[in-house]
Amino acid sequence: MNTATRLFAPLLLIAFLLSSCHTAQKYVESGDYDSAIDFCIRKLKGKPKKKEEYVKGLELAFRKAQARDLNTVEQLKAENRAELWERIHDIHLRIRERQNKVAPLTPLVAKSGYRAQIQFVDIASMERESRERAAEYFYDYAENLLARAEKGDKLAARKAHSMLLDLRRRYYPKYRDTDQLLSKARDLGTSYVLVEVKNQSDKVLPKPFAERLLNMDKQGLDSEWRDFSFVEEKGLYYDYRAVVKIRNIDISPERVQERAYTDEKKIQDGWDYVLDKKGNVKKDSMGNDIKTPRMVIIRADVLEVFQSKAVRIAGSIEIRDHNGQNLLETCDVGAEVLFENYASTFRGDERALSPDSKRRIGNRPLPFPRDEDMLTQAADRLKPELKDELRSTRSIL
């Protein structure tokens, strides 16, 4: 160790000790007693010779913290308001945690012989009372909310559900009939929605149309407080009705169009020798015959048959109240199904065919799909749009 290090080491140690004491004092002076307690505990724990400044610091911070919390509890009790028992219980939990941290260090004696006066309170009985009173407040409040929910206030039911869950999590896992009340709050807070399909067009929809349209993933559609049904259950009260109204069905005629065209291509077909004026084959500098590519035009006559048919449906989704009388929201929906088929034959040189023509050569005309089948496909096309609209609607609470 060099001279400079030997000189500065004691100074650094003194500075560290002074800064440590200053930190504990700073916490106390700012009213952050629990941080001061934690700081002093870190300095005292595991030390056989405990420094008096930390012992006194812990004693002071603990006394002030306890006095502050106990005084606050008395003031809150004096207000005689049931909703304050939640806060009182939180303070009791803080006192218990504080005492549990300090208790392992007691009796707390400094190496100088100073003995700290650490006084604990019977926090178990205090906490028991505040826990019971807070749970009672939560329970009574939830019952009052459920009384409002029975008159149609779904938000009150959801708040009651949340309060009962807090009661079980924070105070008692089993408390009176909270399980039954939670089930009641879940039922009263859930919006039950019946999804229906109504055909208001001038055409007949096939039976599988509605079945395919409403055959969707219920789990992917339901949310915490929304329950969708696609078949009406007797005895179940539906808060909303989502009505898919098919207003227009357009089925085009079966069209067959023929088109004849010719594909041409210029290709090389052998070589032609270059002749001089005497009719002899010309030679290059190496003595080789001079020749040029012979280019010819080849053709293929194509006969193309194009089949087409289209089905278009248009309508709306209406969100109505439970009896269907009041319209809450509406949006337009629609879907289209196209049948298209190309069938082609050709005569001539196959090499002349374009890439598009080659893809269609060999295809045969197909039977046109039935109207019923295309309408059923339209239901599948419409389903994702219906699902998105039901998820995003704001009319359903």
Q: Could you read off the pLDDT of 22-37 as tens digits, one per residue?
A: 677 888 888 899 999 9
Give me the pLDDT at residue 236, please. 86
pLDDT tens, 135-154?
Answer: 999 999 999 999 999 999 99
Supply φ then ψ for residue 6, to 5 degrees. Answer: -65, -35
The closest alpha carbon to 293, from 328, 260, 267, 329, belongs to 267
Per the DSSP assignment, residues forming a β-bridge with 336 are 312
pLDDT tens, 348-370?
Answer: 988 988 998 888 888 888 999 99
Give me the pLDDT at residue 36, please. 93
- Is 246 strand, coil or helix? strand
Give me the pLDDT at residue 2, please. 54
Give me the pLDDT at residue 18, please. 42
Long-range contacts of 21-26 (CB under 8 A, 24+ apart): 21/53, 21/57, 24/53, 24/54, 24/57, 24/61, 25/57
pLDDT tens, 236-251?
Answer: 889 999 999 999 999 9
Per the DSSP assignment, residues forming a β-bridge with 228 are 193
Give me the pLDDT at residue 22, please. 62
Give the integer Cα–Cα distance in Å for 378 and 339: 12
Give the integer Cα–Cα distance in Å for 38 and 100: 12
Give the integer Cα–Cα distance in Å for 264 and 353: 7
Report yes or no: 195 and 227 within 8 Å, Cβ to Cβ: no
User: What are the residues whose beta carbons fall under 8 Å from the beta carbon of 385, sequence distance 6 or more?
Assistant: 333, 335
